Each structure stands twice: as structure tokens, then as C-alpha cells.
């Protein structure tokens, strides 16, 4: 393992943390960066495992709220409904992800053109959604009805196509279903916990036998970098979205996707 490998892991970890919770597809950014910079890893396991750092960032930022919910579970129906809404929203991705894991990792993760196209299409969708004038019916991310949470969970499954964005698909789906911008982003944070933890556990189970000591060091570096970057993003994102909406992320996706396609045509 070289210094370049360590710096590559650090860079990809930071990229994961900065992009995981904004609707630009962290997986797309990491896969494209790895492709163009020649950063190779064992079976694309790095991209999945470093996400746990971003999960811990959510737990850190919302620790007091989560503890309050945990204490209220025995006596507060609202707390129980919140936990159940997150579990219900997670279930579609859990089942579909388990069945499609091999195809996603071996085919979709290996298709840079598809990733770039999905970045551009997702950017166009975000621009459209951001201009859509509607009166949101739900303003509290911790009080969504269970049928609505399930529908958001199915929207999240679209993000199994790299380039779509897990946060983007859940946010867009939630907004189309009547959730306001800020609450949609916050529910996406909460839904990330079981989704990313499940992906981490399943991918580690599938690939731990193939991981080397060098892989472990690179994953650890990426994990810490992702955690630090994600804490910054989670603390700032809700206020940014409240002021500026999602259009800046839509334009960012279009620019990155277009540059990626140009790069693929020029360099392959």
C-alpha cells in the first residue's frame, strides 16, 4: 500500500461525507472519481462500508433527540409511530437490495455512462421539483403517517441505480407526496440510518473474506473522513435548503454528469 492509496482513501471518504446527505449521489461521485483517478478497491466494497461514518454523523448530530425518543417509547404513541415510520420506510430497500445486491455491484456499479446520465436526469428532476408550487401537508419529519412513509421507502429503492441518489429519491418522493422541503430532508436523514447500516452489514457479510489488511486501513481512513465531513453537512443542510431550495444541487448534478460524459468520451 502506497501513500497514494492512503490519500485516495482520504479523498474518497471526504467526498462520501460531503455528498451522502445532499441529493447529488455520493455513490456516483465516488465511482466516477475512482474511475478517472484510477483509484481501485476490492469489489467496490469501500464505497459501501465507508457510509457507516456518515451514519454515525447522523447519530451524533441528532443524539439528544434520539435519546428523547428512546425514553418516550414505552409511554408516547408519537415516539412509537416515528420509529415505526422509519422501519416501514426501510423495508422496501431491505428486500429489494438483498435480492438485487449482486446485479447492483457487478453491473450497475461498473457502468460510468449510466451513472452520468442518471446524474443529469436527476438534476433536471430536482430543478422541476424545486419550482413546483404546492402547499405541503406535512411539516414534521417525525410525524409522518405510516402509509406515506412506506411510499417514501419505495421511492428510495430507485436510488439502487447509482447516480440517482438515495437522499434525492427520498426527498423528491416525499415532496411529491406533500412533505415540505425541510421535513423531507430531515426524514431522509432518519431513513439513512437503517438503510445504510443494513447495506454496510450485508456488504461486509458478503465480502469480508476477500478483504485484506490494506483494505481495512483504507476503509478506516475513509470512514473517519466521511464522518467528519458528514457532520458538517448535516448541521448546515436544513438551513441551506430552507433558504435556497434544491435547485443548486440540480445544477451541480447536471454539471458533474455532463463533465463525466465528456471525460468518458475523451479519456474512456
Which DSSP string do the residues of 126-185 spell out, in sequence order? HHHHHH-----SB--TTS--HHHHHHHHHHHHGGGSTTS-HHHHHHHHHHHTTB-HHHHH
Q: What is the pLDDT of residue 109?
A: 66
Give the tens place of pLDDT for each residue, 52-75: 888 889 899 899 989 999 999 889
Q: Quick one: pLDDT band at residue 154, thresholds 50, 70, 90? A: very high
Give me the mean pLDDT over the 95-121 stretch.
79
With residues binned 3-state (H G I as helix, E B as strand, rest as coil), the percentages for the chain, rounded to 5, are 80, 0, 15
Q: Quick one: pLDDT band at residue 135, thresholds 50, 70, 90? A: confident
Q: What is the pLDDT of residue 42?
A: 53
CB of 31 closer than 8 Å to CB of 165: no
Q: Quick one: pLDDT band at residue 130, thresholds 50, 70, 90? A: confident
Give me the mean pLDDT over the 192-208 stretch.
81
How high is the mean pLDDT of the chain?
Answer: 86
Q: Quick one: pLDDT band at residue 21, thresholds 50, 70, 90? A: confident
CB of 170 closer than 8 Å to CB of 65: no
Cell 452520468 belongs to which residue?
116
Cα 238 to Cα 229: distance, rounded to the nearest angstrom: 15
Question: Within a 10 A sphere around the Cβ of 27, how many other Cβ atoms?
Answer: 26
Cell of 231: 457532520
CB of 79 closer than 8 Å to CB of 69: yes
Q: Is 132 exposed, middle or buried (0-12, 13-18, 19+ CB in 10 A)?
A: exposed
Shortest CA distance to 146 belongs to which of 89, 195, 189, 193?
Answer: 89
Q: Quick one: pLDDT band at residue 242, thresholds 50, 70, 90? A: confident
Give the tens place of pLDDT for each residue, 210-223: 777 887 888 889 88
Decide if pLDDT at 114 tops 90.
no
Give me the mean pLDDT over the 27-47 stretch.
73
Cα 248 to Cα 246: distance, rounded to the nearest angstrom: 6
Q: What is the pTM of this model?
A: 0.84
Give me the mean pLDDT over the 137-147 stretch.
92
Amino acid at each position: 500500500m502506497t501513500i497514494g492509496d492512503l490519500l485516495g482513501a482520504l479523498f474518497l471518504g471526504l467526498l462520501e461525507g460531503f455528498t451522502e446527505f445532499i441529493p447529488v449521489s455520493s455513490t456516483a461521485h465516488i465511482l466516477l472519481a475512482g474511475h478517472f483517478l484510477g483509484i481501485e478497491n476490492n469489489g467496490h466494497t469501500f464505497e459501501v462500508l465507508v457510509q457507516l461514518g456518515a451514519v454515525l454523523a447522523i447519530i451524533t448530530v441528532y443524539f439528544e433527540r434520539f435519546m428523547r425518543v428512546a425514553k418516550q417509547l414505552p409511554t408516547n404513541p408519537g415516539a412509537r409511530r416515528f420509529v415505526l415510520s422509519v422501519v416501514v420506510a426501510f423495508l422496501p430497500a431491505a428486500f429489494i437490495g438483498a435480492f438485487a445486491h449482486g446485479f447492483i455491484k457487478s453491473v450497475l456499479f461498473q457502468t460510468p455512462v449510466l451513472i452520468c446520465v442518471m446524474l443529469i436526469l436527476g438534476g433536471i428532476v430536482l430543478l422541476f421539483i424545486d419550482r413546483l408550487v404546492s402547499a405541503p401537508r406535512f411539516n414534521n419529519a417525525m410525524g409522518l403517517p405510516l402509509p406515506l412513509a412506506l411510499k417514501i421507502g419505495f421511492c428510495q429503492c430507485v436510488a439502487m441505480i447509482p447516480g440517482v441518489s438515495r437522499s434525492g429519491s427520498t426527498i423528491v418522493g416525499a415532496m411529491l407526496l406533500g412533505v415540505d422541503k425541510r421535513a423531507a430532508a430531515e426524514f431522509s436523514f432518519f431513513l439513512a440510518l437503517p438503510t445504510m447500516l443494513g447495506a454496510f452489514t450485508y456488504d461486509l457479510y458478503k465480502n469480508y473474506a476477500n478483504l485484506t489488511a490494506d483494505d481495512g486501513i483504507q476503509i478506516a481512513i475513509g470512514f473517519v473522513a466521511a464522518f467528519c465531513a458528514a457532520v458538517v453537512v448535516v448541521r448546515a443542510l436544513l438551513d441551506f435548503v430552507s433558504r435556497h431550495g434544491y435547485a443548486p444541487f440540480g445544477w451541480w448534478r447536471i454539471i458533474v454528469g455532463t463533465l463525466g460524459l465528456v471525460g468518458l468520451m475523451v479519456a474512456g
